[in-house]
């Protein structure tokens, strides 16, 4: 029984390691894509949208798999949800109070 459990545990870790390698390759590819797109000098609004979208995908991969957020307990989700709310408010304040809108210049 104990040895079966140990084998299952080892398989779980092996599976996780394969996921880490996949995430690593994805992060590398997304980094190259970000730099490549910026070389075409798209309009600022488009450049910001693409760069932030790719950065958000990369950040989510790091948080979900390297930081194991994908399989965390409820309390950690609650702490992070509250943090995200305050973070969004913090970023929204300069955006909504600026007369000329977002990324005009």
Partner 1 sequence: MEIPYTVELRRDTGLNNGKIGIWLFLASEVMLFGALFASYILIRTGSPNWPRGDTILNVPLATFNTIVLISSSVTMVMAWASLKRNRFGTFRMYQASTVLLGGVFLVVKYFEYSHKFENGLFPSTSNFLALYFTLTGLHMLHVIGGMAVNTYFWGPGAKLWKTNPDWFTNRVEHAGLFWHFVDLVWIFLFPTLYLL
Reading the block at residue 79, the tokens are 């702490």
Reading the block at residue 15, the tokens are 């599976």
Q: Which residue lies nearer to partner 1 by CB, 24 or 70?
A: 24
Q: Which residue lies nearer to partner 1 by CB, 1 or 55?
A: 55
Q: Which residue lies nearer to partner 1 by CB, 1 or 36?
A: 36
Which DSSP letter does residue 103 get?
A: S
Is 7 a binder of partner 1 (CB under 8 A)? no
Among 7, 8, 44, 70, binds partner 1 (CB under 8 A): 44
Closest CA to 31 of 60, 64, 2, 55: 55
3-state secondary structure of 41: coil
Is 46 a binder of partner 1 (CB under 8 A)? no
Residue whose tokens read 């702490």? 79
Q: Report in angstroms how near the CB of residue 1 gets to partner 1 at its nearest.
A: 19
3-state secondary structure of 81: helix
Q: Report in angstroms how near the CB of residue 2 gets to partner 1 at its nearest.
A: 14
> How many of the chain's residues bind partner 1 (CB under 8 A)?
51
3-state secondary structure of 99: coil
Is 22 a binder of partner 1 (CB under 8 A)? no
């Amino acid at each position: 029984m104990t040895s079966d459990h140990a084998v299952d545990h080892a398989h779980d870790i092996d599976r996780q390691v394969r996921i880490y390698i996949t995430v690593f390759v994805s992060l590398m590819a997304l980094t190259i894509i970000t730099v490549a797109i910026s070389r075409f000098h798209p309009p600022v609004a488009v450049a910001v949208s693409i760069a932030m979208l790719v950065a958000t995908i990369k950040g989510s991969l790091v948080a979900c798999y390297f930081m194991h957020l994908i399989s965390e307990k409820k309390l950690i989700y609650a702490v992070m949800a509250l943090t995200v709310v305050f973070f969004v408010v913090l970023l929204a304040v300069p955006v909504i109070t600026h007369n000329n809108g977002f990324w005009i210049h």
